[in-house]
Structure formats: C-alpha cells, structure tokens
Amino acid sequence: MSANSFPTNNLAVVTCGLPYANGNLHIGHMRTYVTGDTLSRSLRKIGQKTAFVCGSDMHGTPVAVNAWKEGKHPKEFALSWHEKYKQPFLGMAIEFDNYGHTDDEVNTMLTREIVKTLDDSNHIYDKEILVAWDPLENQPLPDRYVEGACPHCGANARGDECDDGCQRHLEPGEILNPKSIITGNDAEYRNKSHKFFRISDFQDYLQGFINRLEGTANAKNQPREWIEGSLRDWCITRDIDWGIPYPGAEETDLVLYVWVDAVVEYISSTKQYSDRVGSATFDWESAWKKNGEIIHVIGRDIIQHHAVFWPAMLYGSGYTEPRAIMATGFVNLNKKAFSTSRNRAIWVDDYFSEKLDPDLLRYYLVTVGSLQDDIDFSWSNFADKVNGELVGNTGNFLYRSLLFAHREYGGTPQKLVSETVNKRIQEAITEFSDSINKYSLRSSALAGTKLAQYGNAYIQQNEPWKLKKSNPDFAAQVIRDCLQICKAVCILLSPTMPNTTQKIWEEMGESNSIHQVTLIEALESPPISFNSPSEPFMPIDDKKLKDLNSKLDQRINHNSTMGNENSPSETSNLNRISFELFQKLDLRIGKILETKEISGSEKLLLLTVDIGSETRQIVAGIRKFYTMDDLIGKHVVVATNLEKATIFGTESDGMVLAAGDSADLLTTHGDSSPGERIR
C-alpha cells in the first residue's frame, strides 16, 4: 500500500451531489446517496476520520419558475422540498453528519467570500452579452423564462435548449418568436453586463489536477476534452432575484449562477458540522484548507462541474482540491433512463410503500454492477439478488449458526478460533480495505457476502449437528469458528446494511453500536451468551414479485398510452387531413399466427397474420421488445392497403401498427375478429 492509502492521518470529507429542491427522489438518486453513505461508513470502518455532508440545492431558474407556477416565493417552495427530503434519507438510513441547504447564512457568506477572492485576484471580468428581456414588465428573462420555436427543428423550445425536439443547445438570441413564460409577452434581446470566471487562467493547474484525480474512469477522462483543449470562460451570474447576490463594492442586481453556490455547500455543510461538534472532533479548516481527503460522490451527468469548474474555484481561492470523484451511472428501466416528467421511475416513496427493508435496496444498489456503469433495474433482478445472496446465503448462514449456538451452547462455546478460520477472516478484512482504496464498494461489500458463503460451506462440510454426538468437542469448535465468521460478516456488511447488521449485532449479545467498531474487532470473541436470533432477511416471494412487476408495468404502460410522448402543443400543430383521406387507409384487425426470425436482423420478425379474407406475410421491427411466443394469437392492427415492401430481403405485405420507440403494439379491448375494419 502506498503512503497515502486510506486510512490516512488527515480528515476525510465525503460529499454527495446536492438534490435539487424541485421534485421527488427516485432510486436513481439513491444510488448516489447510498454510495456516499456506504463509503463514509466504510472509511470509518477502516479507521479513517470522516465527515459525510450534503445539503439541498435551493437556487436556480427551475426552482424560480416552478415556484412561480405554484404561486409561491422561491424560498418557500425550495424549503418545502428541503424539508421533504429528510424523510427519504432517514428511511434509507443515509446518515449525513450535516445536511444544510444553499440558501442558509453559512453558504451565502462562504460563497460570497470565495467569489470575492477570485474577483480580487483578477480571475473575474465583466462582459456584455445578449439576454432575453420582457419589455412590458422591464424584466430580464434568463434561461428557462423564455420559450419559442427552435431554429433548427421548429419544435417548442426553452431559451437555452430544444428539449422537446432536437435536443440542441441554443445560444441567447437564437430562439425564434421568443416569449416570456411568465407574462406571455413577446421577448426582445438586450445587451447586459455579466460576470465571467476566467477558467483559462487555471488551464495548467487543471491539467495537473486531472492526472492526480482518483475515482471512477469517467470522472477522470471525460473532462479532458475541455481541460486539454481550450477552456471557455464561464458566465457566473444571472438576472433573477432568487440566489446569492454577487459580492463586491459596487452592488449589482445580479445573483450568482446556481452552480457556483451549490458546490460551495460542500464546504459550508462541513463547517456547520464542525461548528456543531467542535473543531477538536472535526476541524473543517484542516480538511478544506490544509490536507483533507475530499471525495465527491456524484451522478455522471455533473462530472464537468466537479472536475473542471469546482477545482478551479477551489484552487483560485486557496481551498483543498478533491482527491477523488466517484461518478455513478444511471439506473435505467428497460435500458432507458428514468423520466421523472413521465413518471417512468421507481420513486423512493414507492419502495417504502411496499414495506420493503431499505437495507435490501442499499445492498442491491451497491453490489449490482460497477459503480460507473448504468444498471437496468427490474424487480425480478432485485428479488434474485435478495433471495439468493441475502436470504439464502448471508441471512441463512447467520441464522443457522446463531440458532445452533444458542440452542446447544446458550452462546459462544469457550474455545479459541481455529487458525484456518482466523486466516480466512483476515483475508476478508484485507479484501475490504483494498477495495475501499480502489473505490470499489461493490467488492468491499462482497467481501462480506463471500465470507458468509465460506461460512455456509464450512458449517455444511463439518456437520456439527452430527458431531455433537460423535465428537462434541469438535462440534463446539466448529460453532465457535462459525460465530467468529458471523461477527466478521456483520462488521463487513455494516456499511452497506446498517440496520440489519445492528440488529444481528445486538442479538449476538453485543452491547455497543456496530457502527462504532472498526474492522479489527472482527477478530475478537463474540459474547459468551445470547438469546434466540431472528431471521435477518425476509424473502420476496413470487406473489410479491408479481405484484411489484404488475404495478410497475401498469404505470409505464399507462403513461405510454396516454400520449405523454407528445405535448399538447405538438399534436395540435399537426397538419390536418380530410376524413376522405383517412378513409383511404384500410386498417383491419389481424391475428398473429406464426412468428419467424429474419436471419441477420436483430430488430425484425417475420409475422404470418390472419386478416380475415387471407393471411399475410408481414415484416415488423419488434423483435427487441417481444418474445416470439408472446406474439402468437395476439390481435393487432394492420394497415392492409400499403404498398408491398422488401425489408432485409423479405417481402412485407402490410404493416403492423405500434406506438412509440418501444413498439407498443396496438391491440383490441373486445373480441373483434380478424378482418374487422377499423374506422
């Protein structure tokens, strides 16, 4: 291990990307927070002094816009979300040492101080830019306050991005027919002076920084395009009256761009923790101004802010640079990212309302794949992991060992741990620490799971239930060894599953909190006596699984059939056709009789469809979304008078109708028979 391996003698600060005070949290967010929480607990487990801090991100245009829509003051609006976030964090056992928000006094003060330092040292300059303006109200219209038509594709777009259409970023002034979203007035463009952070001053520094940075590969490499290319200066002010006022002698009406004060909250929140517990326990200045080990856990969508702007700000104002950035991948549903506006997500509240143990989700999120890769969430996958690894392996081992020990010996037999088992536990401890140093929480958690697996094999092969008659002394030895493994397993898994392991810890007769002990304790004797244990994990049975799946399916399908893909304005802008033209379409009910793969194609299926008067051979691009057996017998809608087409060398005589990107097949509610005309 190198000299600066964890644990170091410095203070560590683990932070999580701030939740934006604008909407509910889903399990994609939780992937980041569970990772941060598990990391901070793990660091403490190996003896690193650590603070885990976060806060709500209160400012910015989206909050201002949404508050306005609800007729609230932005502060009231943001604070209500800030309050709401306490519950899901508590429920998921995410224990921040401090959870603040960006609009509080400490953050306001520190942010202004940092910006002033940057300004005083000439890293900030004024520049006139075009901003949208509401001439009637005499108000500036930043970012999302302005709407109009995208100059590239014509779709309805916000001032800064064509988010409904071609997704292109729009520069100020590009949008056509700009209107204020507040008043509906036509907007115009005016010149206005703004503050720019000269990031190019830090190019050399950042090049060094990105080579030193530890963490996930995406965080270390994605910013290189900017850092090793030419850095563009960063506009750090906005024309709204919600945010932290720009500091300086000549007060302006500008507030700081939300990303400036959002990241400073990492420092502010640490300071608040420090102020509360005293600097003898945790000195924020030692961490942030001297030699702290700063680790940021974020979603991979905000890498640039943390790996480019933020280190430049810190360096320019004399603060400690981040040691590592861990950028987590997204949680997807059917390979596609959650969409909060379409309610295509697993919300944290959904999870709680199913009365599922939070530790199960924590374990799943931590161990399901590599941290930086996207994962595809499914309840079946989740249930497999819970039932296989937690119930079957870990839980079963703990339960059978503790129960046997309690019944036969009333606790831990008076023996020394065998050399073999002692060595195996030490290996697990080493594996755990090594994994933390590689920022792999997956392997650190699996160190515990694998040890439990070893325990299961150990007890099975030694069969103490037989030995207790033939060789009682050896039986006691085996159980003694198993109990040591139990103790170690609990400690190793405690960062990932804090509640369950604490419960077992107490059942083993331990009197302190498992979260106060370090890894070394795993080799010390368990208590001599304890009571009957309880089953650590409850399985997710088939009925529950089916229920979870159908609830989710229902919601996703409901949303995709409700026309959510198209905003009302989009559909109303369509070119209308005459009824006569519509009548020319011959749409009929067809029944799928056979399905065949088309070799060489991943997407296409060859369908034989009964359309009443005849059967047709139709090629459809639905192979990705349906299994061949599921399709047989389905009633679908067929456009029968379409020109024949040759697709992938196969003739297609007609077209099967399906909705959207996931090719949701149109089918019937009643019992219409094949050939029936649709009108």
Q: How far is the CB of 271 from RNA (least distance, A)?
A: 21
Residue 421 dihedral angles phi and psi, to the nearest 5° = -65, -40
Choose, by CB under 7 A, the member of 54, 213, 287, 308 that binds RNA. Answer: 308
In whole angstroms, how far apart are CA 188 and each of 131, 159, 309, 476?
8, 12, 31, 84
Kind of pairing, strands 615-620 and 605-610?
A: antiparallel
Q: Which is nearer to RNA, 117 or 393 (CB)?
A: 393
Q: Which is nearer to RNA, 265 or 610 (CB)?
A: 265
Between CA 25 and CA 411 the distance in angstroms is: 43
Residues 537 to 576: which contact RNA by CB under 7 A?
Answer: 537-539
Between CA 514 and CA 518 the distance in angstroms is: 8
Q: How far is the CB of 51 from RNA (least distance, A)?
A: 20
Choose, by CB under 7 A, the member of 143, 147, 265, 283 that binds RNA. Answer: 143
Q: Does 207 bind RNA (CB under 7 A)?
A: no
Choose, by CB under 7 A, the member of 14, 199, 360, 478 that binds RNA. Answer: 199
Residues 365 to 384: which contact RNA by CB under 7 A?
Answer: 368-370, 372-376, 381, 384
Query: Tokens representing 22?
Result: 């604008």
Helix (H, G, I), strand (E, B) or coil at 74: helix
Q: How far is the CB of 615 from RNA (least distance, A)?
A: 31
CA torsion through residues 174, 179, 181, 183, sign = positive
Q: Which is nearer to RNA, 598 or 678 (CB)?
A: 598
The one segment of 247-255, 395-403, 409-417, 670-678 that binds RNA by CB under 7 A:
395-403
Binding mask 329-368 for RNA (x = CB under 7 A): -x----xxx------------------------------x
Choose, by CB under 7 A, the member of 41, 45, 82, 300 that binds RNA. Answer: 300
Number of helices (H) and strands (E), helices first, in the chain?
25, 27
Contact 132, 120 (CB under 8 A): no
Choose, by CB under 7 A, the member of 117, 156, 183, 440 that binds RNA. Answer: 440
Residues 6 to 35: which contact RNA by CB under 7 A?
Answer: 17-20, 22, 29
Q: Does 129 bind RNA (CB under 7 A)?
A: yes
Q: How far is the CB of 195 from RNA (least distance, A)?
A: 10
Q: What is the DSSP letter of 290?
A: I
Query: Tokens representing 227?
Result: 């850092």
Residues 50 to 79: which contact RNA by CB under 7 A?
Answer: 57, 60-62
DSSP 361-421: HHHHHHHSS-TTS-EE--HHHHHHHIIIIIIIIIIHHHHHHHHHHHHHHSB--S-PPPHHH
Residues 227 to 256: which contact RNA by CB under 7 A?
Answer: 229-232, 234-235, 238
Binding mask 470-509 for RNA (x = CB under 7 A): ----------------------------------------
Contact 308, 199 (CB under 8 A): yes
Choose, by CB under 7 A, the member of 536, 590, 654, 674 that binds RNA. Answer: 536
Between CA 660 and CA 565 the distance in angstroms is: 8
Q: Is residue 229 packed enough to be buried (19+ CB in 10 Å), middle (13-18) or exposed (0-12)?
A: exposed
DSSP 299-350: EGGGHHIIIIIHHHHHHHTT-PPPSEEEEEPPEEETTEE-BTTTTBS-BHHH
Q: Does 160 bind RNA (CB under 7 A)?
A: yes
Contact 59, 279 (CB under 8 A): no
Helix (H, G, I), strand (E, B) or coil at 105: helix
Q: Which is nearer to RNA, 259 or 319 (CB)?
A: 259
Helix (H, G, I), strand (E, B) or coil at 650: strand
Q: How far is the CB of 612 from RNA (least distance, A)?
A: 36
Q: How far is the CB of 602 from RNA (least distance, A)?
A: 8
The H or E element that residue 266 is part of is helix 258-277
Contact 33, 96 (CB under 8 A): no
Q: Does 194 bind RNA (CB under 7 A)?
A: yes
The number of C-alpha atoms within 13 Å of 493 and in the hemisphere containing its C-beta is 32
Q: Does 442 bind RNA (CB under 7 A)?
A: yes
Q: Does 399 bind RNA (CB under 7 A)?
A: yes
Binding mask 598-637 for RNA (x = CB under 7 A): ----------------------------------------
The one segment of 247-255, 281-289, 438-446, 558-566 that binds RNA by CB under 7 A:
438-446
Q: How far is the CB of 387 from RNA (least distance, A)?
A: 7
Choose, by CB under 7 A, the member of 13, 92, 240, 262 that binds RNA. Answer: 262
Q: Which position has the token pair 């009197």?
A: 511
The one segment of 348-356, 452-460, 508-516, 642-650 that binds RNA by CB under 7 A:
452-460
Contact 463, 451 (CB under 8 A): no
Q: Does 400 bind RNA (CB under 7 A)?
A: yes
Q: How far is the CB of 18 from RNA (least distance, A)?
A: 6
Q: Does 535 bind RNA (CB under 7 A)?
A: yes
Q: Which is nearer to RNA, 282 or 310 (CB)?
A: 310
Choose, by CB under 7 A, the member of 140, 148, 322, 395 that binds RNA. Answer: 395
Q: Which is nearer to RNA, 455 or 590 (CB)?
A: 455
